[in-house]
Structure 1
Amino acid sequence: MTIKDLTYTALFTALIIVLGIFPPITIAILPVPLVIQNFGVLLAATLLGPKRATLSVLVFLILVALGLPFLTGGRGGIGVFFGPTSGYLLAWLGIPIVVSLTHRFINNRFKTWYATLFSLIIGGIVFVDIIGSLGVSLVSHLPYLQVLWSNIVFLPGDLIKVIVCFMIYQRVKKHV
């Protein structure tokens, strides 16, 4: 890795940490809050590529596991990886890879702008909801499909994050 790679990786790790300042929005249906930190993960996945973005998220998750209160609401410690949000946190690690593979697959066939938008939807919403729901289901002993369908309450906020991420990517892709 070059100094530039390390700098970008550290910058996006810091961005994910800073986005944890925004308070969580609790929703009665699930024991998982609506957060904005996953926007930082999406942005990293889009702008850094799979290798640097995954490393950025991994560094963030290691810092959280070490007990630093970097998750929304000031949470941290190894215990968060055994709670209801565990699946979502682990899914963040896969977002850069899923976004990259989906983008490559669509872009090789159609070469169009919506490859990026669609890959953000698949990686940032569909993948995260599937893996995150598994974590909630295992911890809370609720049926998996019930938890998966409950994620629909996050859809408006997730779509806004995806669209904003896409707009930022369109503006800065020439410079990254």
Structure 2
Amino acid sequence: MEKTVALIALFAALIAALGLIPKVTLAFGVPVTAQSLGVMLCGTILGSKRGALATLLFLLLVAIGLPLLSGGRGGLGLFVSPSAGFLIGWPVAAFFTGLIVEKWRSASLAVVGGVASIIGGIIVMYVFGIIGMSITLEKSLTEATALVTAFIPGDIIKAVIAGMLTAALAKARPASVLSRYEPADAV
């Protein structure tokens, strides 16, 4: 139990640390950040439940005002901004990313981690992000979908990195990739 809590806190801190990498804000108010890589890694390494809990912990810290998002942003106002859908989607994205890695064992971890990051860390997150942008920017779903296309190349690179890092970690320290080597019921 203590190990689980420590890992959840560690990965929340990883997401925060990735926020130190400067953001690039696009014209419609949603920044490109490295923090979505942290969300992907929460799922691929910690697994579905722990990964979702790590992102929820991070979002709780942001909601109470800690400036942990890229650019030193924090507070409840972010949850009604154009980024709101993406933020709300982080725990769901980490959960699905982790679930795929937990269940799909017939391919190499690099491939599974990369594909899981694309499905969970991009597609699932984009569903929430598109809906959030549509609401906050008063755009149609089609218009909001067109806006997120700017994120796709960078997010695919992050998904590949997540798969490679997960596989490298599993090779160096197999027991540290909980999505593969420890049951999710242990949460």
What TM-score comes out, normalization by structure 2 length? 0.86
Shift of 1:168: 0.6
The number of residues matched between the two structures is 171
| Matched residue type, 1:98 | F
Shift of 1:73: 1.0
Residues 1:79 and 2:74 are matched in the alignment: no
Please give the alpha-carbon distance, in whole angstroms, between the structure 1 residues aligned to 2:143 and 2:100.
Answer: 27
Shift of 1:122: 0.6
Shift of 1:121: 0.5
| Aligned position for 2:130 | 133
Contact 2:23/2:33 (CA < 8 Å) preserved in 1?
A: yes
Contact 2:46/2:98 (CA < 8 Å) preserved in 1?
A: no
Residue 40 of structure 1, aligned match among 17, 38, 41 = 38
Contact 2:44/2:116 (CA < 8 Å) preserved in 1?
A: no
SS in 2 for 1:134: helix
Cα shift readout 1:23-61 (whole Å, capped 9, x = no counterpart): 210222x32110111111111111001111111111111
After TM superposition, the runs of 4+ consecutive aligned structure 1 residues lying more than 6 A away are none
Shift of 1:115: 3.1
Please give the alpha-carbon distance, in whole angstroms, between the structure 1 residues aligned to 2:100 and 2:48.
Answer: 11
Aligned residue runs from structure 1 range 59-78, under 5 A: 59-78=57-76
SS in 1 for 2:57: helix
Aligned residue runs from structure 1 range 1-176, under 5 A: 2-28=1-27, 30-104=28-102, 107=104, 111-113=106-108, 114-173=111-170, 174-176=174-176
Please give the alpha-carbon distance, in whole angstroms, between the structure 1 residues aligned to 2:151 and 2:83.
Answer: 14
Q: Which range moves more in the overlay, 38-47 or 111-120? A: 111-120
Please give the alpha-carbon distance, in whole angstroms, between the structure 1 residues aligned to 2:30 and 2:91.
Answer: 18
Residues 104 and 11 of structure 1: CA distance in aligned 2, closer, same or farther (over 3 Å): closer
Please give the alpha-carbon distance, in whole angstroms, between the structure 2 residues aligned to 1:51 and 1:104.
Answer: 11
Shift of 1:104: 4.9
| Matched residue type, 2:175 | H
Contact 2:45/2:98 (CA < 8 Å) preserved in 1?
A: no
Cα shift readout 1:68-126 (whole Å, capped 9, x = no counterpart): 11111111111110111000001101012211333455x26xx1123332211011111
Cα shift readout 1:120-144 (whole Å, capped 9, x = no counterpart): 1011111111110110110110111
Cα-Cα RMSD: 1.4
What TM-score comes out, normalization by structure 1 length? 0.91
Please give the alpha-carbon distance, in whole angstroms, between the structure 1 residues aligned to 2:23 and 2:162.
Answer: 20
Shift of 1:152: 1.3
Please give the alpha-carbon distance, in whole angstroms, between the structure 2 residues aligned to 1:101 and 1:53.
Answer: 10
